[in-house]
Each structure stands twice: as structure tokens, then as C-alpha cells.
Chains A and B, each alone.
Chain A
Amino acid sequence: MIEIAWSQFTPGTALTGGILIGLAAASFLLLNGRIAGISGILGGLLTPTRSDILWRIAFLAGLIGAPAIWTLAGQLPPIEINAGYPALIAAGLLVGIGTRYGSGCTSGHGVCGLSRLSVRSLVATLSFMGMGFVTVYVIRHLIGA
């Protein structure tokens, strides 16, 4: 039986944030004609061509600058990172290699891919979400960390 953590459940802000993420992807698509896939935008900087360095940096600057802009209006919500450094480093490597090898992450395959009804992106999304569920199960309930 699934037990819901009602005290943690925040459907209102989750939906609002989701709509904002959707609007960001929509504006990138309808203004610039591109898919807002974060891993692809970042990874593309590693093999740059002259014409695409600047827009990639501009998009990432907006993303990285978002917390600073937020603090102009109010306090930033907590960012709780409980993983230790060895785990963070291993996870970072897996996310970096995996998103490039699989050609996308939660934004490119998840948000954009599902929005354009791509079966390829659906398979990718099920693969990473499935392994996300399995990994948390193993860490929290089998190993008990």
C-alpha cells in the first residue's frame, strides 16, 4: 500500500512551477524554434560551434541566475542536499554521462519529449524514472542509508 506524505504534499506550488517550466519550454520553442533540454544545452558547450556558444551561455545564465533574481523578491526556498560528497560525485558522473549517452534528461525527454508525444522520449523517461524509483528503494529500504 502506498502511504502518502500529506504534510509534504504541495500540489499548488508544484503545478504553478510546472506551468512556469512549460511556459519556459514553450517560449524557447515558439521564439527560437528549439527544444529546451538542459543536458543538451550544457553538453553542447563542450563541442561548441561559433554560432551556438552565445545562446547556450545566455540560457544557462538565466537558469543559474534564477536564484539571485528570486532573492530580489523574497527568500529562496530551502535546497536540502543530504547526500555526502562521494555520493554526489558518483551521482554527478552518472547524470553527466547518462544524459549525454541517452540524449536527454528530465527537461528534454521528460517535459519536451512527452509534450511532442515522442515514443523515444517516453521510453527514455520511463527508463530514468524507473531507475530513480529503484535506486531510492535500494538506498533507503534495502541498504537503509
Chain B
Amino acid sequence: MKYHIASLFAGLIFGLGLIVSGMANPEKVLGFLDIAGAWDPSLAFVMGGAVVVGLIAFTIARRRTLSFLGFNIKLPTNTQIDKRLVVGSMMFGVGWGIAGFCPGPALVAFGAGEIKGVVFVASMVTGMILFEIAERIRASSGHNA
């Protein structure tokens, strides 16, 4: 139960942070990505603020095997830099540049009842489903790329 309450709490604070920061506004995000136009560097401060807090948290987490609630700390172990990582991230970047939405802010816009946010999230989830289908086909045909 406390695991789920902590999850709800983290999601809520994350969402409020996205709203305060301006990340939840696609036009603001595109203003940051538009270096050749009138550039709005604000979002660099979002990333900077989040990473400074994150650095402290991960420094603490690395010294522990259990979380403060007594759960196993599961950190990613994959360090491979491969085609999947780069091509996938580049595809994501193109989509981010078209609409100004990455997954978190899109879910916030969805929650705010923005119809365009709902359409984006529906399309994003469809993309995730297509990925799972492609993975299954690949696994069953025995390919490893």
C-alpha cells in the first residue's frame, strides 16, 4: 500500500513540476527547441534544477540496497550504446520537435482535458502498442538485432 501511495505522490509532484516549469506548454518547449528563432532558454533551467536534485538522490541511492520504505533499489544495468538506443531516441526527438510534447507533459495536457492532448496521448499509446507488436513478431521469428 505504501508503495502505491509513494507512486501516486511522485507522479503528482512530477506533474505539478511540469506545470510550474512551463514544460507542460508545448509552445514553450518549441521556443526552447527553436535556437535559430527568438530562443527561450528557460527549459535548460528545468533540466538543470531536476538534475542537481537527482544527482544528490542517486548518490544516496548508490550507497543503499534498500529504499527508505524497505524496497529493493532497482537501477538500470544496461550500458550498451546501440542502434536501438540512438535510432529510437532520434525518432522520439523528431516527434518532440513536431508537437512540443514528450510523454510526461502530454499526460498532463490529457489530464487538463485538452482535446489535442488526448489525441496526442492516444496516438502515443498506439505507437507503444505497435512497438510491442513489432517486438513480438521479431522475437517469434528469432531475430536478434
Please name all residues of chain A whose beta carbon is closer than 8 Å to the beta carbon of B90 when the two chains form the complex: 98, 102, 127-128, 130-131
Please name all residues of chain A whose beta carbon is closer than 8 Å to the beta carbon of B54 when the two chains form the complex: 22, 25-26, 111-112, 114-116
In angstroms, Cα B25 to Cα A4, docked, is 19
Q: Is the CB of A139 within 8 A of B97?
A: yes
Please name all residues of chain B whose beta carbon is closer than 8 Å to the beta carbon of A110 when the two chains form the complex: 47
Chain B interface main SS type: helix
In angstroms, Cα B100 to Cα A111, docked, is 17
In angstroms, Cα B70 to Cα A43, docked, is 26
User: Which B35-91 residues have C-beta < 8 A from chain A?
Assistant: 35-58, 60-62, 66-69, 71-76, 78-81, 84-91
Smallest CB gap from A87: residue in B: B98
Pick the contact of A17: B7, B17, B69 (CB < 8 A): B17
Please name all residues of chain A whose beta carbon is closer than 8 Å to the beta carbon of B121 when the two chains form the complex: 92
Q: Is the CB of A33 within 8 A of B16?
A: no
Chain B interface residue count, CB cutoff 8 Å, equals 117
Q: Is the CB of B98 within 8 A of A15?
A: no
Smallest CB gap from A134: residue in B: B97
Smallest CB gap from B30: residue in A: A136
Q: Is the CB of B49 within 8 A of A14?
A: yes
Pick the contact of A139: B75, B98, B104, B126 (CB < 8 A): B98
Smallest CB gap from A97: residue in B: B127
In angstroms, Cα B28 to Cα A139, docked, is 16
Please name all residues of chain A whose beta carbon is closer than 8 Å to the beta carbon of B51 when the two chains form the complex: 18, 22, 111, 114-115
Of B34, B51, B60, B75, the most chain A CB neighbours within 10 A belong to: B51
Please name all residues of chain A whose beta carbon is closer than 8 Å to the beta carbon of B106 when the two chains form the complex: 92, 95
In angstroms, Cα B9 to Cα A24, docked, is 8
Please name all residues of chain B whose beta carbon is closer than 8 Å to the beta carbon of A115 when the two chains form the complex: 50-51, 53-55, 57-58
| 20 further interface pairs, Cβ-Cβ under 8 Å (given A8-B31, A69-B16) | A2-B35, A14-B43, A19-B53, A22-B49, A31-B68, A43-B128, A46-B132, A55-B3, A56-B7, A62-B14, A64-B15, A79-B114, A81-B114, A88-B99, A92-B121, A98-B91, A98-B95, A127-B89, A128-B92, A131-B93
Task: Enumerate 27 A-B pairs (CB-CB under 8 Å) in ascending A order.
Answer: A5-B40, A10-B42, A11-B42, A15-B46, A18-B47, A22-B51, A26-B56, A29-B73, A30-B68, A33-B66, A62-B7, A63-B15, A77-B25, A79-B108, A80-B26, A80-B28, A81-B116, A85-B119, A91-B95, A93-B127, A97-B130, A102-B89, A103-B88, A115-B53, A116-B58, A119-B81, A133-B33
